[in-house]
Structure 1
Amino acid sequence: MSAAEKAKNLGKRVIGYEDDVPPAIDTVDWIKESIGNPWQSAVGYATSLFPILSWLPRYNLGWFYGDVVAGLTVGMVLVPQGMSYAQIATLSPEYGLYSSFVGVLIYCIFATSKDVSIGPVAVMSLTVAQIIREVDAAAPGQFSGPQVGNTLSFICGFIVLAIGMLRLGWLIEFIPAPAVAGFMTGSAISIATSQLPGLFGLSGFDTRAETFRVIIESLKHLPKTKVDAAFGLPALVFLYAVRFGCEKLSKRWPRYSRIIFFISVLRNAFVILVLTIASWLYTRSHLGPDQDASLSPIKILGEVPRGFQQLGRPEIDPELLKVIAGQLPVATIILLLEHVAIAKSFGRINGYKINPNQELIAIGVTNTVGSCFGAYPATGSFSRSALTAKCGVRTPASGLASALVVLVALYGLTPAFFWIPSAALSAVIIHAVADLVTPPAQVYQYWRISPVEFVIWVAAVLCTIFATIEDGIYVAICASLAFLLIRVAHPRGKFLGKVNLKSDSSAENRDAYVPLTDDGVKNPAVDVSPPAPGVIVYRFEESYLYPNQHVFNSALVDRVHETTRRGKDMSNVSYADRPWNDPGPKSGTAREDDEKLPLLYAVVLDFSPISHVDTTAVQTLIDTRAEIERWADRPVEFHFATITSPWVRRALIAGGFGFSRDGAQVPHEIAPVVPYRDSEARTDSMSSDTKDDLESGNKDSKTVADVTEVPISSSGASSVSSNYETIMRSDTPFFHVDLTAAIRAAERSAERAREDGTVML
């Protein structure tokens, strides 16, 4: 092989590229690229499981100060919230503290986010309450609430851990942000509504029913409001007054904003402390010598066991697993979805990148280990994570300080918890979950950006309010996937025309190709010129796959029928000789209108948006070419512009595109569903050059090669006769570097055909 042939086979070095342009990709190349070095991959995987190893050796006193301040602050918020959320889950307050302790303690080892705070959250707590309720209905008195919560923590944690270990975190990306915001908003409204009876001391109806029913029943029972409202309503008003007041003060006196911020943060702990003292003063004379909490004139928390009472191996009952099996998907989805969404949000705000798979591992380990402490499922909390970030946290180690606060509360403050009024905890819950409601400005942005996602958000909210959280999240996910499939199956495509651009600062002109019809993007006053007669330019705005291949075929064939005339005059053909599905004009009818239309010579396809094609799509493209050539009654050139994927190039070559003008020279079926007996004969009729090697190219087709040329390096120039070479590979002259080159090549071919008065062979 000569030096020139060798250079041509390997590709030419062009300016701007340091390496030789690679040849056509092979399956072996893909396997090597995917697997890489197995040993390095195994070591990298093992070390990635413990992100703490990357930052712990560099830990310093500056980081320590920020972590301690943030951890202690979050811990003082976590204790009342943990007990409050345990009430939402219909569990005793200590279970909320168990979940809080394990969450902040374990997470720092596996975390890739410094801001996220793990522990009980409102949405997960409400889900646990609904599952406990369904278990009681299915097996009355057989399983306790703590047992159900503990089993959920272990099983869901194990499932999430497996998803993270298998690196399947990309599945979460199928659920868009508006869907998450929708069910979070609906859940927040449901949780706040469920706390209204506790806030006013109402009873006598089901507070766990659908949200709209709880609202109706609460309004009906308002005349029966008890003394509890004297503790709950002032607490709620105080929380909001301190919050908004501190926001105003920090803007007025920014130099004291740090102090004002910590005053605002401690409002939960302060209101619980004050109302606990008030409750003790008000109720201590009513409880008798035995301190019976049921005798209290207001509902108080009651006895909270000291320390960890549930340490040990979790007891997983197979019968309980059968009962809760149907609820595991929604519980698992809430665990991973809420946490990853929060971690991504704070990573984006604070300038670092999280690893979704590693975050799932962290959640999985936290809940699996938490089941040994008697905890119920825990995940990332939006409000506490926001607080952690605002406190200036430096590393995930802040969770250790928060765990210390929870530990002190469990072993030293449980006697004081006895007197906490339940109405005050209801006020804390309502105040916390209100931040989960999507603000109107954000909802309006959904409408402006994507009305479809706005519909998903509304559907998720309504289903959560009028049904259950389970229904809301399933509706949000299913609607998102349905719209995704619809978008893939019904993509948009545009037929393009030319606009000549002129610059005031230079005499250089260039052509731009934009949609022929008004698309709402370009200036409607701009006149778009169609391509040369006999040339059609089409851009398909989606990957070319089996769900949408019919759209491509229909659009292109219909356009050919509308804008070009038939190559064969059917007006003189008898009905007996015409296809049943293509009658053509009536016999003897004049074709004056058709004579005004040009003959079709070339089709240019802009493949810049297409990153993937499959077998069905390539087969459809072959069928499209055959159908168009039957209409034109001649070979039609198919030019392809801006093919960015080597696998797309390989697939098109396998379908006979890129190197041949004549569609009759390649197989008409590359993957027949029903093999025909004459397939071998049809293959044998191919030209010898094509049959020998489908990727070798047609050597005589170089006349239409991309004329865009660039200088090659001295090493390449020494092996060829010229210092210039085409950018694209010379064995596929119908693949072009950009749309301009493709259209120019197609127009030149059409012009030559019109001048010669011959068809292209």
Structure 2
Amino acid sequence: MSSLPEKPACRTPSFLVLNSPDPPAPWHELTGSVKHSLLSHGKKLGSFSKCITLASYALFPVLQWGRNYDLKMFRSDLLAGLTLASLGIPQSIGYANLAKLDPQYGLYTSFVPPLIYAVMGTSRDIAIGPVAVVSLLISSMIQKVVDPSLDPISYRKMVFTATFFAGIFQASFGLFRLGFLVDFLSHAAIVGFMAGAAIVIGLQQLKGLLGINHFTNNTDVVSVIKAVWIAVHQPLHPGNFLIGCSFLIFILITRFLGRRNRKYFWLPAIAPLLSVILSTLLVFVTKGDKHGIKTIKHVQRGLNPSSAKQLQLSGPLTGASAKIGLISAAIALAEALAVGRSFATIKGYQLDGNKEMIAMGCMNIAGSLSSCYVATGSFSRTAVNFSAGCKTTVSNIVMAITVFIALQLLTKLLYYTPITILASIILSALPGLIDLREACNIWEVDKMDFLASAGAFFGVLFGSVEIGLSVAIIISFTRIILNLIWPRIEILGRIQGTDIFCSIRQYSVAVRTQGLLITRINSCFLCFMNANYIRERILSWVIEEKDAMENAKERTRSVIIDMTNVMNIDTTGLAAIEDIHKKLASLEIQLAIANPGWQVIHKMKKAKLVDRIGRSWIFLAVPQAVEACLALKRESGHLC
């Protein structure tokens, strides 16, 4: 076998590739991520006082926008905050009931977390407090470990502990820039999960709407329907159903009117609070609580009590609490970021995802120490906040102060509030969680995404919240793994008259260069999962073309692998490239590598693979590799 000549052409591009500095170590990248999270836009560190100042501005955005805050903005925020409170107070009480907690814990969660978020968050519009999906998630998972009806104290302790872990996870995601972990819950999975959860929540509200005493703790639709079927055959007071349905219709009508005319945005916002006031007066005047109408009864008065001593950070339930906290953290972040980004896009400003995670984490850690459960951004309340003309997060402060006043002065008035009205308020908020239009759009655009959405929906509906999430994540991971195992490998051709090389399958005008096989690996990681597939695919093309070409002058003399998309490589990937090189060399075919990534060329040099392939056969771009290979072909033809 004759030795292939070394081609010295294009030394400058090869020099650039081979003499690039070593990439940063993982530890340096991690510390850089932390510094970027704490310092605005990764500014350089100066004196200690400057470092503290930069970190303060990064952690507390209020220090930046607060300098330009004026009375006109405050008027807008005051109106928005009061409107927000009128919706948030009754919703908070209802969501506490959904979370199997006493009503005051919902109000606690609408007091401390919004105050923390107001000084740390980057969204101007998001409204913080308890939400339906997280309330369902908390109750459905914790009641499998501790029954709230038999041991309410242990149940509350586990709720606060799970909230503490949720805050720790959320803050860690932001501090170490691990937000991609939340992205494993894809948009399609969230759409399906929310829709399934909305139906489950709606069915569970039949307990309050019908005034049922005994109800199932299971969240699957079969168990809930069975419990309702048994209950309706028992003696029930029709007053509960009549009050609940009447005010549900009233709330839905006000929402319809508010959507028809934006001038009446305040009408659907105040409708829940008005419903609570009117239904409470009705029960008080008629003494309905003595005739079968179920009421809230006692609500504890006063500011959030400390719950620091109730956290169970050691013991047999710590692991379960951490697991529930992690799942709650992911769902809460996914909902909050989706809501925040939607309204930030409308107003035309940028939301900092990592700072949002840190803010959410800090507010939930503080909340766990002050008798709150997991809080996040609510879509319905954020929409009201936006419509009311909020300018900054001061609207959250106004809402929190209003909740504080309610905790101090109005809790005794809630004694006669019927539970059925809380069910009506929750039911009225559920249609916003079911997005049929988006589900149809997902089906049209990507069938695999729709499969993940449907998996989450039916998993929640017929299994449990955990099963729905697990199914969605498994489907999403399966898709990722399949794409990693069988990446697209394209044969490239040149667009005539240019130096542009693209897929001959996608672009019919792209023409292959005679004597060259130019391939591109469309995978960011050449690793043990796909290295063998890539090696066999490239070599099979070479062998097929060798057998098909009868004319020796037309046979493939060079193979170019475009590694533009390959960001990293492991030892199995290096071995695959070396196998390709050896096989091609035995066939007297030259291998050329174009545009290897930073980590790729670093590892190729460490493994001495660059020397075995030939330093002059590593190129910065495909056109330079093609030029060198054509020169080799002409030289080989001349030698023949």
Q: Per the shorter chain, which TM-score range?
A: 0.7 to 0.9
Q: How many angstroms does 1:543 deviate by?
A: 2.0
CA contact (8 A) 2:203 2:224 kept: yes
After TM superposition, the structure 1 = structure 2 runs for residues 398-413 of structure 1, keeping only pairs within 5 Å, are 398-413=395-410
State yes or no: 1:237 paired with 2:253. Answer: no
Give the Å deviation of 1:174: 3.2
Count of residues paired in the alignment: 610
Structure 2 SS opposite 1:564: helix
Deviations, residues 23-78 of structure 1 (Å, cap 9, x unaligned)? 82223877998577665895444542222212112211222122112111111111
Structure 2 runs not aligned, ≥5 long: 1-8, 33-43
Residues 340-359 of structure 1 correspond to what in structure 2 (within 5 A)?
Answer: 340-359=337-356
Following superposition of structure 1 onto structure 2, how do residues 465-484 of structure 1 map, counting pairs within 5 Å?
465-484=461-480
The CA RMSD over aligned residues, in Å, is 3.3
Aligned counterparts of 2:161 and 2:618: Cα–Cα separation in 1: 62
Which residues of 2 match residues 235-634 of structure 1 at below 5 A?
Answer: 235-248=247-260, 250=261, 257=262, 259-282=263-286, 284=287, 293=289, 295-308=290-303, 310-311=305-306, 313-317=308-312, 318-319=314-315, 320-321=317-318, 324-437=321-434, 439-500=435-496, 509-510=497-498, 513-517=501-505, 519=506, 522=507, 526=508, 529-532=511-514, 534-546=515-527, 547-565=529-547, 595-596=550-551, 598-630=554-586, 632=587, 634=588
- Structure 1 residue 481 displacement after superposition: 2.5
In 2, are the aligned partners of 1:138 and 1:323 still within 8 Å (CA)? no
- Judge conservation of contact 2:484–2:530 (CA < 8 Å) in 1: yes
Shift of 1:352: 2.3
Assess, with a 3 A threshold, how the Cα gap between structure 1 residues 432 and 237 changes in structure 2: closer, same or farther. same
SS of residue paired to 2:110? helix
For the Cα contact (< 8 Å) 2:23–2:599, is it kept in 1?
A: no
Match of 2:39 in 1: none
Instruction: Write the mapping of 1:38-187 to structure 2, written as runs, cut at 5 A.
Output: 43=52, 44-137=54-147, 141=151, 143-187=153-197
Q: For residue 369 of structure 2, give the secondary structure of its aligned residue in structure 1.
A: helix
Partner of 1:354: helix, strand, or coil?
coil
Q: 1:135, 1:143 within 8 Å by CA — same for their partners in 2?
A: no
Structure 2: distance between partners of 1:31 and 1:321: 31
Q: 2:591 aligns with which of 610, 625, 638?
A: 638
Q: Take 2:563 and 2:359, find their aligned partners in 1: how far apart are those partners?
A: 42
Q: What SS does the corresponding residue of 1:536 show, helix, strand or coil?
A: strand
Counting aligned pairs with the same residue, the percent is 26
Equivalent pair of 1:463/1:472 in contact (CA under 8 Å): yes
Q: 1:173 to 1:309 in 2, by over 3 A?
A: closer
Could you say if the C-alpha distance between residues 245 and 58 of structure 1 is closer, same or farther in structure 2, counting changes exceeding 3 Å?
closer
CA change 1:314–1:441 in 2 (3 A) is same
Q: Give the TM-score normalised by the residue count of structure 2.
A: 0.86
1:589 counterpart residue number: none
Q: 1:26 to 1:615 in 2, by over 3 A?
A: farther
Give yes or no for contact 2:526–2:566 (8 Å, CA) kept in 1: no
Shift of 1:100: 0.8
Report the TM-score, using the length of structure 1 for normalisation.
0.73
Partner SS state of residue 494, structure 1 = strand
Deviations 1:214-254 (A, max 9, x none): 12442454465522111111222222222223323x2xxxx
Report Cα offsets for 1:609-641 as digits up to 9, x if no partner.
Answer: 3333344323311110111222x2x2x223344
SS at match of 1:227: helix
Higher relative contact order (CA 8 A, sep 6+): 2
* 425-434 vs 349-358, which moves further: 349-358
Deviation at 1:657, TM superposition (A): 7.1
Q: CA deviation at 1:170?
A: 3.6
Query: In structure 2, what is the Cα distance between the partners aligned to 1:405 and 1:462?
Result: 40
1:417 to partner: Cα distance: 1.3
- Cα distance in 2 for residues equivalent to 1:563 and 1:423: 75
What do the CA deviations read for 1:634-682 (whole angstroms, capped 9, x no partner)?
2x223344x2744444445566677xxxxxx728xxxxxxxxxxxxxxx
Structure 1 residue aligned with 2:636? 753
The gaps in structure 1 that reach 5 residues or longer are 1-7, 13-19, 251-256, 287-292, 501-508, 566-592, 659-664, 668-689, 691-696, 698-731
With 393-402 and 745-754 compared, the bigger mean Cα shift is at: 745-754
| 1:247–1:31 CA distance, 2 compared to 1 (3 A) | closer
Q: Tell me which amino acid in the other structure corresponds to 1:27.
A: D
One-letter code aligned to 1:619: A
* Counterpart selection for 1:25 from 17, 20, 25: 20
Amino acid at match of 2:255: R
Deviation per residue, 1:412-439 (Å, 9 max, x gap):
22222122221111111011122112x2
User: 1:735 aligned to 2:619?
Assistant: yes
Distance 1:80 1:146 in 2: 21
- The one-letter code of the counterpart of 1:371 is S
CA contact under 8 A between 1:310 and 1:373: conserved in structure 2? yes
TM-aligned CA distance change 1:60 to 1:27, over 3 Å = same
The answer to which structure has the higher helix fraction is 2
Conservation of the 8 A alpha-carbon contact between 2:98 and 2:139? yes
**Residues 1:168 and 1:33: Cα distance change in structure 2 (over 3 Å):** closer
- Does the aligned pair in 2 maintain the 1:535–1:750 contact within 8 Å? no
Structure-2 separation of matches of 1:88 and 1:53: 37
Q: State the partner residue of 1:211.
A: 221
- Letter of the 2:503 counterpart: P
Q: Which moved more, 1:645-654 or 1:231-240?
A: 645-654
- Once the 2 structures are TM-superposed, how far is the Cα of residue 321 of structure 1 from its aligned partner? 3.1
Instruction: Give the C-alpha shift of residue 399 in structure 1.
Output: 1.1
Do the aligned partners of 1:314 and 1:374 also contact (CA within 8 Å) in 2?
A: no
Asked if the contact 2:125/2:390 (under 8 Å) is kept, the reply is yes
Give the 3 Å change call, closer, same or farther, for CA 300–143 of structure 1 in structure 2: closer
Question: Compared with structure 1, are the counterparts of its residues 440 and 159 closer, same or farther at alpha carbon in structure 2 (3 Å cutoff)?
Answer: closer
